[in-house]
A and B are shown apart, each in its own frame.
Chain A
Amino acid sequence: MTNDAPTAPRDANAPSTAERIPILDARGITQRFGSLVANDAVDFSLFAGEVHALLGENGAGKSTLMKVLYGVNTPQEGQVLVNGVAIEPGSPAAARAAGIGMVFQDLRLVPALTVAENIELACGSGRYRSKVARDRVRGGAERYGLAVDADAVVRDLSIAERQLVEILRVLLMDARVVILDEPTSALAPQEVDALLAVIERLRDDGLGIALITHKLAETRAVADRATVLRGGAMVLSGADPRSLTDDELIETMVGAVPPPLPAERVPARTGMPALAVSGVSANGADGHPRLHDVTFLVQPGELVGVAGVSGNGQRELLDVVLGVLPLSSGSIHIGGRDIGRSGKPRNALRAGAVIVPEDPVNDAVVGGLAILEHLALNGRPLPTSGPRIDWKSVRNLVAGNDISERLHLAPLDRKVATLSGGNIQRVVLTRTFLVDDPKLVVVAYPSRGLDIASVRATQQLLLERREAGAGVLMVSEDLDELLALADRIIVLHDGHLAGVVEPGSTDRQAIGRLMLQGAAA
């Protein structure tokens, strides 16, 4: 951290900042959606050379506020000033012209184009020259230390890789204000560190950075000021996060500090493995080999974690277990049933698997449908009465237990297109946990985008599933989460199974080495 006062104001109310004009200043923003007040007279300012963290539980209104700044939302009240001058509300073009760049929570790249083409689309001069575009991407990736392949087609990238592309895209747009909406939600620790270093560099270059995150450590690492929203209202406005303890911050965000996870675990059972992956090789969606001779078991009542730097085969592993991707060799059994090699999700689902896919927005939800309708699409045969779907039984299923309350599911007839990112994740998680007696629970990034309280609720539900005898296969970018929950962790490197480690007996460095160097480490 720098300590020269002009570049990093520590307190918005300090006299020294009173005469400085913020590069971005939003005042009294009120944004309603029908009767719902998503932002209630919220202020948010950003000085040159500072990182301002925006915190709060899922659905608090963080993304809504940032979309107001970027001109995607038109607020009913309030205005946005850039360098003291009001900009036209509701116009992303005006916001971009004023030097504001934003990475959205739900990524918005064109899947069929390459990374270079996507970036050129956003910040090119209009005439596309492939060499110029690629050089620009390579140069940028090198300058900021982001691992981005200019020629990769976005469709083939994992979520985490796409996140890096989005970040690079905004950086290359020469923005003076960079809004990052949960940029680290799918990144592995090393990638998070790299990104935080980038953020610090941008701050030192005099940019203003608004950072939305659910992770305290990130706030602690880079934020100069923090604003907390709750139910659309400001509960903390531009305060120095160092003036608060962790517990105080968590309490302002979600109300109460969530209880710790139980330390005691019933041992895994023996018997028919919940999942048997033997000698599996498979090609990715792009036709290139992505998994090489992977073999492992998940016992009933066992939680196996999958660690690895993104893009090392996690996505493909999930896809072959679900049967979305055909195998080129090997076999997969779920609860003893061979799911075949043809790539039919039905087989895996009928054998007793339930899944939370890597990319819920693109692979799990239908924007125009209500939450209730999603809960029926859990992979089991649809509940019908005569020619119709028995919606009452779906409602009863939800009402019959406390899962939806524990995950704070939004009202059942809300359309998913109007939900916040974390609330969409809650829908997908609720749907998965509502399935009765699954043999295998496959979850990718279970706590992505969730607030601290919901993360804990999700972890507890996963452990309960494990205890009830289901095998759980969990891919996570968060090593701490893996170490806290998993009975065993398998590490993927370049599509190979680099090693299997026991959380109790291995240190983080060893796992990190396996992730980066593979079995040779």
Chain B
Amino acid sequence: MTAVDAPGAPDAPDDLEPDAGGQLPTPPPIGPVDPTTATLLDEPGSLAAFAAFRHNRIVRVAVRWVVLVGATIAIFCAFLLAKGAQPDEVLRSMWETSLGSPDSVGETFIRATPILLAALAAAVPARGGLFNLGGEGQLLLGAVGAFVAANALDGGASSAVTLVCMAIGGAVFGAAWAAIPAVLKVYTRTNEAISSLLLNYIAGIIITWLCFERWKDPISLGQAYSRELTGGERFPIIWGNRVHLGIFVGVIAGLVLWVILRWSTWGFKLKVLGGNPSAARRAGLAVTGLSIAAMMVGGAMAGLGGMVEVAGTEGRLRPELLAGYGFIGFLASWLARHDPLRIIGAAVLLGAIAVGGSGLKITAGLSGGAVNILMALVLFAVLGWGRTSESEGS
């Protein structure tokens, strides 16, 4: 198929925010506008040339990015100074731990994978106008599902078969966990953002129980964790001594979802539902089924993330496994405006910040949470950028 059949320019912003152009009393201009808005005045003269320069889209975008990145780093440095740390040292050490050497790049990819999958878990429902804040719980349930599959096979299959079964187990468990808020939403009108969020805590309790009781490793003494996955139950190491094959799972899932959301009938229906649920319903789309499916596909992605973590780096189930990744993923999804391709980039960026931050305690005596500030700044900067570029449209 050629691109000609596809309506809309491929890189036009195709996800109107659900409430853009809504019924505000003081109305914003209508939605995002064609990127070709840049108008070069054809009269000569320095004033016109200056106006043309200012109106040139590339110049505007470049200037805005420089300002935003600069401001983000400046605010973070101000924070570091206030905490008595040396900004230049901290930034250098963050750079070195996250991207400065092949090993640290590998570490960033390892960290980015569950973030990427958790981001997809937020993005697919968001395309259909639903908020999935349950990435944390779905990641954990995915890890449980992977363990269930591994325990069931009990080393009786080849490594490839075992890993595929574990992936399926993780995806199914994640999807099932995400189905709960979806069904509640559709049949009882419970807000899916709240219910999916609250289910995270229940997932935490399930994991704790499994680690303390049911699956407690008998040789772990006082520690609460499960047995370690071994041999064919683990992703093979492909690089250095930590980087495993599982890092491709997220990227592949992202690419596949990008294709599905952009080109398939299902992706189109989801876009209509997200853009205007009332119109979707009146066009005869099966809104109920679509909503549940969108949440479940999202949950399956997070479930895969949980599986990759236990079959890759971790190897065990621990209560604090993956804590916070679901929320970082949610953030990544919004950073990327729910576009899977951009989510891959956002996940790597946030993964790098997370890795860079893990060394802060040692090098600068800061708490590991300090990088959350940087992540929040990045979020504000990017969302702010989206806003201003939209309102400049008309």
Contacts and interface: CB of A to CB of B under 8 A. Distances in A.
Do A and B share a complex?
Answer: yes
B21 interface: yes
Interface in B29-46: 29-34, 36-37, 39
Complex A-B, nearest 5 residue pairs according to Cβ-Cβ distance, in ascending order: A366-B275, A368-B16, A370-B7, A417-B31, A377-B283
B149 to A, nearest CB: 28
Contact of B34 (A33, A169, A373, A379): A33
18 contacts: A33-B33, A73-B394, A92-B26, A110-B23, A118-B25, A122-B25, A169-B25, A349-B284, A368-B13, A368-B32, A369-B272, A373-B268, A377-B272, A379-B282, A387-B263, A415-B34, A417-B21, A417-B31
Interface of A: 32-35, 67, 72-74, 76, 92-93, 104, 107-111, 118, 121-122, 169, 322, 324, 345-346, 349-350, 355, 357, 362-373, 376-380, 382, 384, 387-389, 391-392, 395, 412-413, 415, 417-418
A357 B276 CA distance: 14
Nearest to A112: B23
B86 interface: no
A363 B275 contact: no
A118 B1 CA distance: 49
Given A33-B37, A324-B282, A368 B14 contact: yes
B29 A73 contact: yes
B284 A345 contact: yes
Contact of A417 (B5, B15, B30, B272): B30
B63 to A, nearest CB: 19
Contacts of B32: 368, 417
B7 A413 contact: yes
A391 B31 CA distance: 24
Given A368-B16, A377-B279, A412-B7, A108 B284 contact: no
B265 A388 contact: yes
Interface in B334-365: none
B284 A384 contact: no
Interface string B10-25: 0011111000111111
B31 A367 contact: yes
Given A369-B275, A417-B31, A388 B7 contact: no
Given A108-B24, A377-B283, A33 B394 contact: yes
B23 A366 contact: no
A363 B275 CA distance: 11
B1 A355 contact: no
Q: Is the interface of B mostly helix, strand, loop or mixed?
A: loop
A108 B281 CA distance: 22
Contact of B284 (A33, A379, A389): A379
Interface of B: 1, 5-8, 12-16, 20-27, 29-34, 36-37, 39, 263-266, 268-269, 271-272, 275-276, 278-279, 281-286, 394
Contacts of A415: 8, 12, 31, 34
A363 B265 contact: no
A415 B276 CA distance: 14
Contact of B265 (A92, A389, A412): A389
B23 A108 contact: yes
Contact of A372 (B7, B20, B263, B281): B7
A346 B286 CA distance: 8
Contacts of A368: 13-16, 31-32, 271, 275
B282 A369 contact: no
Given A33-B394, A324-B282, A367-B20, A391 B5 contact: yes
B283 A369 contact: no
Nearest to A109: B23
Given A74-B394, A367-B16, A357 B282 contact: yes
Contacts of A74: 394
Which of B23, B29, B264 lies at the interface centre, i.e. has the most chain A CB atoms within 10 A of its CB?
B23
Nearest to A390: B5
A382 B268 contact: yes
A126 to B, nearest CB: 14
A362 B278 contact: yes
B8 A413 contact: yes
B128 to A, nearest CB: 12
Contacts of B269: 382
A200 B263 CA distance: 55
A135 to B, nearest CB: 20
Contacts of B265: 382, 384, 387-389
Nearest to A122: B25
A363 B282 contact: yes
A287 B101 CA distance: 65
Contacts of B285: 377
A118 B25 CA distance: 8
A371 to B, nearest CB: 8
Contacts of A370: 7-8
A378 B24 CA distance: 29
B1 A388 contact: yes
Contacts of A380: 284
A121 B25 contact: yes
Nearest to A76: B39
Contacts of A412: 7
A355 B30 CA distance: 26
Contacts of A111: 23
A64 to B, nearest CB: 10
Nearest to A63: B30
Given A376-B268, A382-B269, 16 more contacts: A34-B36, A108-B23, A122-B25, A322-B282, A345-B282, A349-B284, A363-B276, A366-B271, A366-B275, A366-B279, A368-B16, A368-B275, A370-B7, A379-B283, A380-B284, A395-B5
Nearest to B34: A34
Q: Tell me which of B16, B21, B33, B276 has the highest count of chain A C-beta atoms within 10 A of its own C-beta.
A: B276
For A109, A118, A366, A378, the residue with the greatest tally of chain B CB atoms inside 10 Å of its CB is A366
A369 B7 contact: yes
Contacts of B272: 366, 369, 373, 377
B96 to A, nearest CB: 42
A365 B282 CA distance: 10
A369 B271 contact: yes
